[in-house]
Amino acid sequence: MKKHNIELVCPAGSLPALRAAVDNGADAIYIGFRDSTNARNFPGLNFDLNSARKGIDYAHNAGAKVFLALNTYPQPTRWHEWARAIDHGAELGIDVFIIADVGLMQYASERYPAINRHLSVQGSATNYEAINFYYQNFDIKRVVLPRVLSLSQVRHVIEKSPVEIEVFGFGSLCVMVEGRCALSSFVTGESPNTCGACSPAKSVRWEEIGDERRTRLNGVLIDRYSPDENASYPTLCKGRYKVNNDISYVMEEPTSLNVLESLPELVQMGASAIKVEGRQRSPAYVAQVTKILRSAIDDCLASPEAFITAGKWTLQLDKIAEGQTHTLGALERDWQ
């Protein structure tokens, strides 16, 4: 497999999705186990030991790496579940642990120092001082930045950081600094940091009333859709609510991050990896996004100065984007 100066890191919530990512040019694929140790803990999603072993073998045979996301926070009475996940990952031959919790980071660094550790976006490190703490204490190799920084802030972090920096390039956005959100806890009593899902499937309800489709989260009405509207998976931050007699997306509209137009800047400032969000998405989604971003990254690396965002890439990505629209999110903000 061709080596790249900037890694393309893609999601896989199943073995077919992992194969799709590998076959379409991902340098690394991140996966999770079928439990609350990862932040995409949905029924029917993720890997058991057998499928993980098959996936790791498939990726390694193609020259790609596999990262294991252990990015929720262990609970005091269930610590053994997270520790066991670390042990299983080491036994399977995982290339990288993606970890948020300090205690789990220490466990991994002491038990398996030869396996690289990346700080998860759920670790909420948004400045180089925080990154330096994890580097000095746990010898992390990379940090996944939360999606709340402007381009100038990302540049500043990269310039000052002692480790590699990974940034999100495509996928659903989060209105909060990842790892600090308590919105779903307010409605469901469960946090994505502990249970692994913003909207646990058991709390989600879909209702068909006449021509209208409604979505509820633990009984709370999140949105109403007309027959010609695409309905999104209900999360509290992306619902439409009545405020001052006006019904609108109060906190955040459903849309996807797409950094194609800022790719030359990210390459120039020294980002080490571009990450795709979406372990809950289909193998077809993974294949299409991976293929497009692989082409874009290769073109940009070949000639950053001449790189032009291909209209066809954006149109193709918009078709599978949340809300079928895209944004640069915080990257285009001028705050410092």
323 part of a folded domain:
yes
Q: Which of 205, 228, 249 is the last residue of a domain?
A: 249
Q: 195 and 260: one domain?
A: no
| Averaged pLDDT score across all residues of the chain | 90
Is the pLDDT confidence value at 73 over 90? yes
Does 35 fall in a domain?
yes
Quick one: average pLDDT of 272-280? 95
Q: What is the model's pLDDT at position 275?
A: 97
pLDDT at 2 over 70: no
Q: Of 230, 249, 268, which residue sits at a domain end?
A: 249
Residues in the chain: 336
SS (H, E, C) the chain: CCCCCCEEEEECCCHHHHHHHHHCCCCEEEECECCCCCCCCCCCCCECHHHHHHHHHHHHHCCCEEEEEECCCCCHHHHHHHHHHHHHHHHHCCCEEEECCHHHHHHHHHHCCCCEEEECHHHCCCCHHHHHHHHHHHCCCEEECCCCCCHHHHHHHHHHCCCEEEEEEEEECCCCCCCCCCHHHHHHCCCHHHHCCCCCHHHEEEEEECCEEEEEECCEEEEEECCCCCCCCCCHHHCEEEECCEEEECCCCCCEEECHHHHHHHHHHCCCEEEECCCCCCHHHHHHHHHHHHHHHHHHHHCHHHCCCCHHHHHHHHHHCHHHCEECHHHHCCCC
- The region of weakest confidence among 4-13, 80-89, 129-138 is 4-13
Identify the pLDDT of residue 178: 73
Do both 235 and 263 map to the same domain?
Answer: no
pLDDT for 329 beyond 50: yes
Residue 4 pLDDT greater than 80, yes or no: no
Tokens representing residue 300 in the block: 């940009």
**By residue range, what is the domain housing residue 85?**
7-173+255-332
Residue 183, domain member (yes or no): no
Q: pLDDT tens, 223-266? A: 999 988 877 778 888 889 989 989 888 877 777 888 888 999 99
CA–CA distance, 161 with 19 (Å, rounded to integer): 33
**147 and 203 both lie in a single domain:** no
279 and 163 assigned to the same domain: yes
Per-residue confidence at 51, pLDDT binned at 50, 70, 90?
very high
The whole-number average pLDDT for the span 202-216 is 90
Q: How far apart are CA 136 and CA 120, in angstroms?
A: 16
The residue among 232, 249, 266 that closes a domain is 249
Q: Using the predicted structure, report yes or no on whether residue 179 has a pLDDT greater than 80.
A: no
Residue 48 and residue 152 share a domain: yes
Question: Which pLDDT does position 235 carry in this prediction?
Answer: 83
The type of residue at 123 is G
In-domain check, residue 179: no
Please, which pLDDT band fits residue 176 given cuts at 50, 70 and 90?
A: low
46 and 164, same domain (yes or no): yes
Domain count, the chain: 2
Are residue 197 and residue 66 in the same domain, yes or no?
A: no
Residue 268 located in a structural domain: yes
Same domain, 200 and 266: no
CA dist 242 and 258 (Å) reads 29
And the tokens for 325? 């629209």
In terms of domains, do 196 and 47 share one? no
User: Average pLDDT for residues 169-198, to the nearest whole number?
Assistant: 76
What pLDDT does residue 312 have?
Answer: 78
At residue 177, the pLDDT reads: 67
Lowest mean pLDDT among 84-93, 123-132, 252-261: 252-261
Give the mean pLDDT of 203-231.
89
Question: What is the band of 3 on the pLDDT scale with cuts at 50, 70, 90?
Answer: very low
Q: Is the pLDDT of residue 310 over 70?
A: no
CATH code of residue 148: 3.20.20.70
Predicted TM-score (pTM) of the model is 0.89
Is 81 part of a structural domain of the chain? Answer: yes
User: Of 40-44, 141-145, 307-311, which gets the smallest average pLDDT?
Assistant: 307-311
What's the confidence (pLDDT) of residue 232? Answer: 76
The reply to whether 51 and 200 lie within a common domain is no
Average pLDDT over every residue of 58-73: 97
pLDDT at 1: 37
* 128 lies in the same domain as 37: yes
Query: Which single residue is written with the structure tokens 């690289």?
Result: 116
**What is the per-residue pLDDT for 334?**
72
Whether 39 maps to a domain, the answer reads yes
Chain-centre distance for alpha carbon 26: 15
- pLDDT of 112 strictly over 90: yes
The reply to whether 31 and 125 lie within a common domain is yes
Percent of the chain residues past pLDDT 70, beyond the cut? 96
Distance of CA 261 to the CA centre of its chain: 20
